Structure 1
Amino acid sequence: MKKIYGLIAVVVAVLAFAFYRASTPSKPNAANKAKQVAGPKTVKVGILQLVTHPALDQIHLGVVAGLRSQGYRVGKNLKIDYQNAQADQANLQTMASKFANENEDLMVGIATPAAQSLAKAAAGKTPVILAGITDPVGGGLIKSNQRPGANITGTSGESPLKSHLNLIKQIVPKAKTLGIIYTTSDHGGTYNALKMQKLAQQAGYTVKMYTISTTNDMQTIAGQMVSQVDAVYAPQDNGVASAMKTLVNVANAAKVPVFPAADTMVHDGGLATLAVSQFQLGKVSGIMAANVLKGRKPANYPIEFIRKGIMSVNTTEAKLLGITLPASVLKQAKDKGEIFK
């Protein structure tokens, strides 16, 4: 009998101990505790922008939106270091080096000079995403659009120049002399200006080319230009975009319409354009950046081209210049584009 009581006592003790263990919260081991404290990994992205103007600002906003659409949110798992060089080459070099020294997970270049500075600082290591770069091959950034090579890929914002020329023909059919203005130090602007020159000459226009070195030159050069041409084409050029309001003011005084390459430049007083959304360019770049952060290799990640443009018109500008916009152009802007008043 004593043996039975002893056995019962042992069983009760075992059950009591098991109940105590089950009801007592377990202490996390070191690995679990570290995991709980660490949470999701925060990636660091450096964004370098050449200068402040509406087109590049829209690209910047698009990049952030693209990253967010793929699950990367500031304050949650993303830290962004945004730097603006304000068109200063020394600033570009300093800021790009800062990103490289701080071991950013990825860098984004907005405008060709910014991308070139990042590419040099990254030295083939940190991934670099191009955001709306015109002619990335000619700019020495990549080997080819299909296989960029090394650590660089992104989007290209090459303008639909033939569409721009057709729009000029539609709106000012009597124009014979076209002025094209661009910045000598802007690779993308020079590239677009020279291509438009060739297309316009083939279409029968007399083309006059004008250049600025800095935005400070715009007042003088624009004054010379508008006295010699029937219409002005302002390509996708950072210097021209930055001085767009000056260009428009001078052109308006001479009643000469300005046809720009970007929708943001129409907002700043250009008459009309059929252009790629700068925000959409940035958003696609942000999505590509997210894919690279998740493991896709830039070397064989083809450059993305955004070619479908939207019609943007400035009806206040048309009224000021005494120009009647074609009904088809207005309808296209109203249905699928933008009308600035």
Structure 2
Amino acid sequence: MRPILLALAATLALSLPARADNVTVAVTAIVEHPALDAARKGVLDVLTAAGYKEGENLKFVFESAQGNPATAAQIARQFAGDEPNVIVPISTPSAQAVVSATRDIPVVFTAVSDPLGAQLVKNMEKPGGNVTGLSDMSPVAEHLALIKEIVPSAKTIGYLYNSGEANSVSLLAVLKADAEKAGLTVVESAATKSAEVQGAARALVGRADAIYIPTDNTIISALEGAVAVSEESKLPLFTADTDSVSRGSIAALGFNYYDVGKQTGEIVVRVLKGENPGEIAVKTAAGSDLVVNKAAAAKMGVTLPQSVLSRANKVIE
């Protein structure tokens, strides 16, 4: 009977799903806002689907820096000391802090527009070392085309950003180059912390025909202040991330950040299963949704053209 029992046990073992080993994944973000929160959820959901279940064989740790770079550095050092299996920094400032804090623990960053400019990796195809991740570089030329389609009279674009965030500085260079090709002028207004966002938006009134906000965590964390200025002054406001449209911007053409998180989670699973992060190419997020807000447009004195409404993935009334 023993050979039969052994054969039966082997058959059962093959038919049962493999149980993932106990792992710790530490996640940090420079600040909490809908886009970054959605990315974090996407990572967790992919881990769960791969057999890493929180409370069973997965310890999923999250820390927010609350918009403070010094706190981001402190969190990075704490994570490095805790030695999790993988660290997932969400946003450029958090990624820079984590990459500076460890050379040994695998790092999979996400929601970073320019990994090369932020000096996270030296090569996108072969990052080397302990780092890889996912870029969310915005399709800036398409954003400008959308703004022109909705506000045909626009000649000057106000760029509202944090001048201390490498991601936003890189995007500014891209914006200026694409704006010149489109016959547009860019006017800058900077806010280095969330309390300054409303004032920086007000500084664009009378100087710009529309406001464009990139995937800047400082600005987006205080978006409502900029929206209030735009509604009061009838200055159309556009964002690069789609999660901000429901909070009052007119439109955005960009990534679904839950999907960005899922794509990041797939890389994390590869690392947990033994792949070297330095040998995994840095990818650019896939997919692009058009989300528009009719109520916000009306408050800012804009009527959305049917050409935009007809191709939108989501219309907020």
Q: Secondary structure of the residue that 1:41 maps to in structure 2?
A: coil
Indicate the residue corresponding to 1:42 in structure 2: 22
Deviation at 1:322, TM superposition (A): 3.2
Distance of 2:181 and 2:127 partners within structure 1: 32
* Structure 1 range deviating more: 89-98 or 293-302: 89-98
Distance of 2:214 and 2:204 partners within structure 1: 15
Deviation at 1:249, TM superposition (A): 0.4
Pair 1:61-2:37 in alignment: no
Deviation at 1:40, TM superposition (A): 5.6
Indicate the residue corresponding to 1:244 in structure 2: 223
Indicate the residue corresponding to 1:114 in structure 2: 94
Indicate the residue corresponding to 2:314 in structure 1: 338
What is the RMSD computed on CA atoms of the aligned residues? 1.5
Indicate the residue corresponding to 1:270 in structure 2: 249
The one-letter code matched in structure 2 to 1:243 is: A
The one-letter code matched in structure 2 to 1:113 is: P
The superposition leaves residues 289-310 of structure 1 with CA deviations (integer Å, 9 ceiling, x where unpaired) of: 0110001111110111124311
The one-letter code matched in structure 2 to 1:340 is: I
Deviation at 1:268, TM superposition (A): 1.3
Indicate the residue corresponding to 1:171 in structure 2: 150
The superposition leaves residues 46-66 of structure 1 with CA deviations (integer Å, 9 ceiling, x where unpaired) of: 101111111111111111122
The TM-score, its normalising length taken from structure 1, stands at 0.85
Distance of 2:55 and 2:198 partners within structure 1: 44
Instruction: Rate the CA distance shift 1:307–1:287 in 2: closer, same or farther, 3 A.
Output: closer
Q: Secondary structure of the residue that 1:225 maps to in structure 2?
A: coil
Identity of aligned residues (%): 34
* Structure 1 range deviating more: 144-153 or 202-211: 202-211
Number of residues of Structure 1 aligned to a counterpart in Structure 2? 300
Pair 1:221-2:203 in alignment: no
Instruction: Rate the CA distance shift 1:275–1:60 in 2: closer, same or farther, 3 A.
Output: same
The superposition leaves residues 264-314 of structure 1 with CA deviations (integer Å, 9 ceiling, x where unpaired) of: 111111101111111111111111001100011111101111243111001
Deviation at 1:170, TM superposition (A): 0.7
Indicate the residue corresponding to 2:259 in structure 1: 280
Q: Contact 1:181 / 1:193 at 8 angstroms: preserved in 2?
A: no
Q: Secondary structure of the residue that 1:226 maps to in structure 2?
A: coil
The TM-score, its normalising length taken from structure 2, stands at 0.91
Query: Rg larger in 1 or in 2?
Result: 1
Indicate the residue corresponding to 1:126 in structure 2: 105
Instruction: Rate the CA distance shift 1:292–1:256 in 2: closer, same or farther, 3 A.
Output: same
Indicate the residue corresponding to 1:197 in structure 2: 176
The superposition leaves residues 19-63 of structure 1 with CA deviations (integer Å, 9 ceiling, x where unpaired) of: xxx9xxxxxxxxxxxxxxxx8631011101111111111111111
Residues 1-341 of structure 1 mapped to structure 2, 5 A cutoff: 41-122=21-102, 124-333=103-312, 337-341=313-317
Q: Secondary structure of the residue that 2:203 maps to in structure 1?
A: helix
The one-letter code matched in structure 2 to 1:280 is: D
Deviation at 1:152, TM superposition (A): 0.5
Deviation at 1:172, TM superposition (A): 0.6
Distance of 2:190 and 2:300 partners within structure 1: 24
Q: What runs of 5+ residues in structure 1 fail to find an aligned partner?
A: 1-21, 23-38
The one-letter code matched in structure 1 to 2:316 is: F
Q: Secondary structure of the residue that 2:132 maps to in structure 1?
A: strand
Distance of 1:68 and 1:148 partners within structure 2: 27
The superposition leaves residues 113-164 of structure 1 with CA deviations (integer Å, 9 ceiling, x where unpaired) of: 1111111222x21100011211111111111110111011110010011110
Deviation at 1:76, TM superposition (A): 2.2
Distance of 2:269 and 2:97 partners within structure 1: 21
